[in-house]
Amino acid sequence: MPRLTVESDGVTIDILEGETILEGLYRNGFAYRIGCRRGGCAICKVDLVDGEVTYNRTVADTVLSDEERAAGTCLSCRAVPVTDVKIALREENLRRVSSLMAFAMKAAPRATSAQSQ
Ligand code: FES
């Protein structure tokens, strides 16, 4: 299970099988500015400081150029860690939720369909 470390906070997150960086962040109380969540708008970029990611779906060069990839930029909504990774969030995209809210998000049971009477 790859471990994601958020450089500015030192927070570590265990990434679930096939989980993207963005999904791991949200599951752990981070709120990062996003758009399409499909690899098309480029809003969700983070900087990969260490480690490797893969893309299970094609990401267009117009969204993430070869130069950006070489410099460590990745799309958090599509990038799946394959090793332990360390990332730097871009401050302009970061919105934090309180630790209480993060705890509640982790502890909350998944929504279930309404029960019939
Ligand atoms: S949210 Fe649009 S590319 Fe990630």
- For the stretch 13-41, pLDDT in tens is 999 999 999 999 999 988 888 889 999 99
Give the residues surrounding ligand 1 with Cβ less than 6 Å away. 34-37, 39-44, 75, 77
Q: What is the pLDDT of residues 59-94, one digit of tens each?
A: 999 999 999 999 999 999 999 999 999 999 987 777
Side-chain half-sphere exposure of 81, counting CA atoms within 13 A: 27
Domain boundaries, the chain: 3-107
Nearest CA to ligand 1 atom 1: 37
Which of 37, 56, 87 to mutate for ligand 1's pocket (most ligand atoms within 8 Å of CB)? 37
| CATH class of the domain at 3-107 | alpha beta
Nearest CA to ligand 1 atom 3: 39
